[in-house]
Amino acid sequence: CRAFGIRVRRFYLGFAPRVRIGKKVIPLKIFSFKRGGTEYGVGLVLFGGFVDVEGQDPTKPRKGAPWEFLSKKAWQRAVVLVAGSAMNAVSAFLFFAVAFSIGVRLTRPVVGLVDVGAPAWRAGIQPGDEITEMNGQPVREFLELATNIALLPEGSEVELTVRSPDGTTRKVRVKPVADPLGRGLTIGVMPVAPIVEKFEADSAAAKAGIKRGDIITAISFYDRIVGKRREVAIKDVRRLRTILSQHVEPGAEVVLTVRRNGKQLKIPVRTDVGIEKRVVRLGMLNTTEFIVEELRPNSPLKKVIKVGDKFLKANGVDLRTYYDILKAASDGTVTITLSNDGNRRQITLTEKQVLMLEEDVKWKDYIARRVEVGYVVGGSAAAEAGIKRGDVIVEVDSKKVQSFGWFAEYVSRSGGKAMVLTVLRNGRRISLTTKPRPIRYAKIGVAFGMHRMLYRTDPISAMVMGAKRTWLWAKRVFLVIRGLFARTVAPKHLSGPVGIISISYAFAKLGLGTLLYLLGLISINLAIVNLLPIPVLDGGHLMFVAIEKLRGKPVSPGAQVAAQLVGLFVLLALIVFVTYNDVLRLVQTP
């Protein structure tokens, strides 16, 4: 500002909001001093900074003096406006640099989940694999990998160096696809793993002796679907959640095998009864088809199954759901009848191979045109109403059932009210009354985390990392903003002040370095958001400067004031919205 001859009333590092107590106004600052007509200081809110200059507010009368902001050339005003965001970016760099000097807990680029049919799945990447390089460049953490892939041009192909849990390495080529959530490109992997990160209140797992950092490697349980006790290896959290939500009777005991400090421990856990009150169901599965669309390239199943195979029977019984295959394999093996191009054949699968069907096979999408019951959960609303396997539901409350999707939506929107179903059974129409219930599931009360590492380096390297991290997070913020405008990122995922406080508390527990890392993240968010073309933000003022250059004359003060009022309303509405989301998340989090 002084370089352009603009008078500065206040220059602060960080923000110093003013609080009014009675007639007294108290600025929230650490310290301040005056020199040459300018008040210099450090605000209590240590993010970026602010500059209060003469003649910037169009609502206040101007003298037309040469030292006023609006008296300067358009390019000079633009430089001053960009400087505010630059201060936030510098703050982010400093926070990141200091954080890496102290030590930051980062997420290792270890794969926790692989989406079936995704590029990573097609390349043979599995849970537990660590991606160490991308196109010959080292990958330090999962976020770095995800961001670099997300920002690739569409149609790109990348070479990844993958290290398996046994230490062997291999190179694979992957062609990323568009992320369904609108966050650029993706290869379909996530870092969450069956590692115990934290416990819910009165957690069943905590009471049983499970500790933070334990890695769950297997679960032994009585399978209410199969009707026998089973032990299943846990490769990812998806399988564990499926077992607890569908196969274990709520309140039943399970035995978890965990790896702790290199040792394998078996710990019995009496599950709690979890209730998903926001969702009601009848407790049944619809009949589906099983046609192989793709097989994982390195799958052992390729020896017995091929693309296009349609699964017809399990031990001679018509297949309706995957549970039919599981139940038939409960004695160790199952005979599957297949058809392909009109030719039938039979294969024998072991129980282990049956489990592979969940992970190594991409089934062709099946759109159910009618509701034909394939499985009824014992003790459910459907079971108590007398609904049976093979029933075809044709009406609900005298309304014709249009499709399975329509029926599922009708049930979920019922709010648990009783309904009358018209069912076709053996050619006869019968009426059954049922009442959907909240979903009940077996719950162990843990939240799962990721493979983390403490990253600490020397001051010089920390500054380099600080610069790289500032740029990395700037790209991430850009992806989110782009997704919001493209309506592929839901606004409900945004966080406000309450959410930031909650997240800050969680980060603080991971150490000072990780907390400073969060402050850097917030600073770079502020830097970019401040440049959005919204009146009252610096980006809005830049927009007025751009319009002035195009028109050859400035935007009228009246138009600027009106636009700023609209911008202020939008910002206040956004703050209320994100704060509401934050509070809702806190209330709904166990």
Which is more confidently placed, 225 or 18? 225
- In this prediction, residue 497 carries a pLDDT of 47
Question: Where along the chain do the CATH 2.30.42.10 domains lie?
Answer: 284-440
Q: 109 and 143 in contact (C-beta within 8 Å)?
A: no
The one-character DSSP state at 153 is: P
Inter-axis angle of helices 459-485 and 142-150, nearest 10: 50
The CA distances from residue 71 to 7, 57, 146, 334, in Å, are 11, 12, 46, 84
- pLDDT given for residue 152 in this prediction: 83
Spatial CB neighbours of 33, under 8 Å, sequence gap ≥ 6: 39, 40, 41
Q: What is the pLDDT of residues 474-511, one digit of tens each?
A: 777 776 666 666 655 555 555 544 444 445 545 555 67
Give the global pTM.
0.75
Cα distance between residue 534 and residue 566, in whole Å: 9
The per-residue pLDDT for 69 is 66
User: What pLDDT was estimated at residue 249?
Assistant: 95
Give the pLDDT of residue 18.
Answer: 67
Fold that domain 284-440 belongs to in CATH: Pdz3 Domain (2.30.42)
Is the distance from CB of 177 to CB of 115 less than 8 angstroms?
Answer: no
**Span 231-246, average pLDDT:** 94
Please state, as a whole number, how many other Cβ atoms lie within 10 Å of the Cβ of residue 106.
21
What is the structure's pLDDT at 293? Answer: 96
Return the pLDDT at 586.
41
User: In 167-233, which residue ranges form alpha helices assigned H by DSSP?
Assistant: 204-208
* Nearest alpha-carbon partner for 226 in 300, 127, 341, 314: 314
Pairing outcome for strands 185-186 and 177-178: antiparallel
Task: Tell which wins on pLDDT, 77 or 335.
Answer: 335
Show the beta-strand stretches assigned E in 16-129.
18-21, 24-27, 29-35, 38-43, 45-53, 104-107, 113-114
Long-range contacts of 573-576 (CB under 8 A, 24+ apart): 574/494, 575/496, 575/497
Helix (H, G, I), strand (E, B) or coil at 572: helix
* pLDDT digits 0-9 by tens, 282-341: 999 999 999 999 999 889 999 999 999 999 999 999 999 999 999 999 889 999 999 999
Q: What is the mean pLDDT of the chain?
A: 84
pLDDT at position 368, please?
Answer: 80
Q: Is the pLDDT of residue 185 over 80?
A: yes
